[in-house]
Amino acid sequence: MRPTVVRRTAASACAVLLTAGLTGCSVPGFGGPDADSAMDTLAKAMASGDLGAVDFTGGRAGAKQAASAYDDLTRGIRGDSEAKVSVGRVSTDGDSATGQLDWSWQVGPKTWSYDTTVRLSKGSTPDGDAWLVKWQPTIVEPSLEDGERLVETTVRGERGPILGSRDQPLVTPRPVRHVGLDKTGLTAAQATDSAERLATLLDIDAKDFLKRVKASGPKAFVEGIVYREQDAPAAVMGALSDIKGAGVVSGTLPLAPSKDFAAAILGTVGPATAELVKDSKGRIKAGDEVGLSGLQKRYDEQLSGTRGATVVALDEKSQRRTLFTADAQAGRPLHTTLDLKTQNAAQRALANVGPASALVAIRPSTGDLVAIASGPGSKGYNTATYGQYAPGSTFKVVSALALLRAGLTPQSRVECPPTTVVDGKRFKNYDDYPSSGFGSITFEDALANSCNTAFIGQRGKLGQTSLADAAAALGFGVDHDTGFPTFFGKVGPPASETQAAASMIGQGTVLASPMAMATVVASVLKGSAVLPRLLPDVEVQSTQPAKPLTAEEAGQLRTMMRAVVERGSGVALKDLPGGPVIAKTGTAEFGDKPPLPTHAWMVAGRDDLAVAVFVERGASGSGTAGPVLEQFLREVR
C-alpha cells in the first residue's frame, strides 16, 4: 500500500478516503489513534521542554530515557533561545507513520530554521492504543548523532563609540591591563595568601577581593584592578612576580582619552549588575559589559548593538561541529558636540582645583556644548550640567536685563551705598569693593564693579515676574529634555522682601548650574535665547520666551559686560588675545554657620565662545574662578 499523506487541516479529506474504502488514515471518531494528534503533542512537548505527555516506544523506561536525553541535548541552548515547533506533513503506512517537525530557534539576531523527521509506530499504552514516537537525536536536529548535544555561545557586538564634534573619537576601545589572580594550580591556602598580598599591592578592598577569589572556580582569573596601559604603575607591575598566581591580562575597554575626560557626563562601562540584568527583560545577561552611568548607561542599547550567537554540536570528546551562526552586530555610534581639544583644555584648567568645580563652554551660534568638565573635587558628581548652586553676582546679568526693561539705561545714575537694610537684613558689598565705586554711579559701573546695594536698591522697579521673564529671555530657568542630565536654573517666587532683595544678586530663590550660567552669556553674545545641546541626533523641543531678548538689549548687556573687563572686577581678562572679552564675576554665601563660606563664579564670552567657571568654595569670583577661566581662554584662543 502506498503511504497516505495526511495534514492536520485535512480531516474531511481523510473521511472521504475512508468512505471510498481506503485504509491508512485515522481521525478521532473514526475508530483508532491519530498520528496527527501524536505529532501535535510531540511538537508542543518539544517547544515546552516537557515530554511527559508524549508516548514513546519502550514504555515508561523509553519515555524516561527520551525525556532525559532531550534535556541533556538541549540544555546548552534553551537558556538563551526558545524553540518554536510545528507539525509539517504526516504520512501513515499501516502500523507505521512518518512525521515532519518544523523547528525555528531565535539565535541572536537571526532565526535558525530546519525540518526533522519523526518515526512513529502503533502500540499499546495503559490508556489504550496509540502512536508511539521512536526517540532519536535527529528528531531535534537532523545531523545530530548519539552523544552529541546542542550548545549555544553568545557574543556581544563591538560597543559603539562615543564621538565628539567632527566625529572625533572620544570613547573608543583603548588598551588596558587587567591585574588579578590566576587560581590555576593554587591550593586554597595559597590562593588566600596571594589574594591578601595582591590586594595590599593594588591598594584595593582586601576583604571583597578575597571573597571573590574564594567564590570563583579553581581555574578562574579573578580581576583585582584595571589600568589604562599607559597608567599601569611600574612598581606594581614589577612586584607581581613575587606573588604566586598574580598576573596580567591585556585587553581593551571603551574609554575616553583620559580618566577625567567628561567622566561625569560620558559615564562608565563595566560588568552588568543584577539589577540591570533584571530590568533589561532579557537584553542584558550576567557577565555582559554594559553602561553603568552617564551617557553610557542611558544609551546602552544603542551602543551595545545586537548579540551574536553560534550553535554547535558538542560530542563527549568536546569536539565541536558548527551548525548555525548569527554574527553580532556592532553598536551604533553616539554623536556629541564635545570638542576634543576644548574639553582637554577645560580638564587641565580644573586639574589643581581642590573643591568641587566645573567649567562649561558653549558655541552661541549653534548652542553646541564643546566642553563639560567637572573637576576632581566633584568626586564623580556632574557638577557641570546638573549642579544646583546660588550663582551670586553672575546672575546680575539677568537682573540687569530686567532693570533695562524697567527703564534704566547703562548710563542711568544709581546709588551704591556701602550697606543697605531690607526688613532688618543687612546687605553689603564684597570686602575689597573699590571705595571709588560708592555713591552715585552709572548703572554700567554698578555691574562692572558688582555693587550689591545698587541692584538691591532698584528692586522696586520690577514686577513679580520680571526676573523670571528676563532669565527666560537669556535661556535660564526653562527646562528641556535634552537627552542628558541638565539643570537650567530656577528663579523661584520670593516669600519675603529679604528674599526678593537677595534674588537681585543671585541668592535668595535663585539657583543655577554652571551650564545655565554659560547659557546666559551665550544668549547675550548671540542676541537671542540659546538652547544648549550635547547630542545633535536628539531632537529637543524649544519654547520661545514670553518676552524674547531684543538686539538692543543684547547690545546694552554686551557693553556693560565689557566694562567688567575694561575697568571692573574682571580686569585680569583685559589683555587676553582674540576678540573683546565680556565677563561677570560672582560670589554667593551658603551654609548656616558664620563665617559663611562662598561659592566662586566667573562667566565670560569671546567671539563664538561662552564660558562659565564654578568653584564650590572660594575667596571670590575674580580671585578663585578667574585664574581658571583665564588659563582656559588663553589655551583655546
Write down which residue in 120, 146, 172 finishes a domain: 146
Residues 81 and 188 in one domain: no
- 27: CATH: 3.10.450
Q: Give CA–CA dist 194/592, Å, rounded.
A: 50
Distance CA 168, CA 342 (A): 12
d(CA 339, CA 312): 46
Q: What is the Cα–Cα distance from 391 to 45, expressed in whole angstroms?
A: 68
Backbone angles phi, psi at 138, to 5 degrees: -70, -10
Say yes or no: 462 and 575 in one domain: yes
Task: Express each pLDDT in 144-179 by its tens digit.
Answer: 999 999 999 888 889 999 999 999 999 999 999 999
Q: Which of 505, 475, 484 is nearest to 585 (CA)?
A: 505
Question: What type of residue is 561?
Answer: M
pLDDT at 445: 97
Could you tell me which of 174, 597, 573, 635 has the C-alpha nearest to residue 373? 635
468 is written with which cell numbers? 523670571
Stated as kind and residue range, the H or E segment containing 200 is helix 188-202
Predicted local confidence at residue 286, as pLDDT:
80
Q: Is 217 exposed, middle or buried (0-12, 13-18, 19+ CB in 10 A)?
A: exposed
**DSSP count for the chain of H helices, then E strands:** 20, 26
How many domains, in total, are found in the chain? 3
Same domain, 390 and 318: no
Can you give the C-alpha Rg of the chain in angstroms? 36
368-374: strand order across its sheet: 368-374, 357-363, 609-615, 598-606, 581-589
Reported as a pLDDT band with limits 50, 70 and 90, residue 212 is very high
Considering the domain architecture, whether residues 426 and 485 belong to the same structural domain is answered as yes
The set of cell numbers assigned to 235 is 612598581
**Domain presence at residue 367:** no
Q: What pLDDT, in 10s, does the model give residues 47-82?
A: 999 999 999 999 999 999 999 999 999 999 976 667
Closest CA to 449 of 414, 405, 407: 414
DSSP 232-248: --HHHHHHGGGSTTEEE
Is residue 89 within 8 A of residue 98, CB to CB? The reply is no
Pair 263, 235 in one domain: yes
Residue 611 or residue 591, greater confidence: 611
Listed residues 335, 364, 387: the one ending a domain:
335
Is 166 within the bounds of a domain?
Answer: yes
Q: Kindly state the cell numbers that stand for 27.
A: 481521525
- CATH code where residue 400 lies: 3.40.710.10
Residues 132 and 179 both lie in one domain: no
| Residue whose C-alpha is closest to residue 369's, from 190, 504, 515, 507 | 515
| Averaged pLDDT for residues 277-302 | 90
Domain boundaries, position 382: 373-530+540-606
In this prediction, residues 622-627 reach a mean pLDDT of: 97
Round to whole Å and give the CA distance between 17 and 23: 7
- Which of 376, 404, 439 shows the shortest CA–CA distance to 559? 404
Shared-domain flag, residues 393 and 306: no
Examine residue 549 and state whether it is found in any structural domain, yes or no: yes
pLDDT tier at 593, thresholds 50, 70, 90:
confident
Q: The domain that contains 258 carries what CATH number? A: 3.90.1310
Same structural domain for residues 418 and 563? yes
| Domain co-membership, 30 together with 107 | yes
* Residue 305 sits in the same domain as residue 432: no
Domain boundary among 146, 180, 202: 146
| 615 within domain boundaries | no
How high is the pLDDT of residue 7? 39
Reported confidence tier of residue 23, pLDDT bands at 50, 70, 90: very low
Per-residue pLDDT tens for 414-450?
999 999 999 999 999 998 899 999 999 999 999 999 9
Residue at 202 is within a domain: yes
The answer to whether residue 366 sits within a structural domain is no
Q: Which of 176-180, 210-214, 269-273, 394-398 has the lowest mean pLDDT?
A: 269-273
Contacts of 278 (CB under 8 A, 6+ apart): none
Query: Is the pTM of the predicted complex or chain greater than 0.85?
Result: no
* pLDDT, tens only, 514-542: 999 999 999 999 999 999 999 999 999 88
Q: Is residue 617 part of a domain?
A: no
Confidence class for position 6, pLDDT limits 50, 70, 90: very low
At 50, list the grid cell: 516537557
Grid coordinates in use for 524?
Answer: 547675550
- 379 with 497, same domain: the answer is yes
9 pLDDT higher than 70: no
Say what the pLDDT of residue 373 is: 98
Average pLDDT, the chain: 92
Q: What is the mean pLDDT of residues 375-393?
A: 97
Q: Specify whether the backbone of 305 is left (phi greater than 0), alpha (psi in -120 to 50) or beta.
A: left
The Cα-based distances of 250 to 204, 236, 353, 413, 581 in angstroms read: 20, 15, 34, 69, 48
Asked if residue 105 and residue 188 are part of one domain, the reply reads no
Q: Is residue 300 part of a domain?
A: yes
pLDDT of residue 32: 65
Question: Please, are residues 426 and 562 in contact by the beta-carbon 8 Å criterion?
Answer: no
- Asked whether 187 and 271 are in contact (CB, 8 A), the reply is no
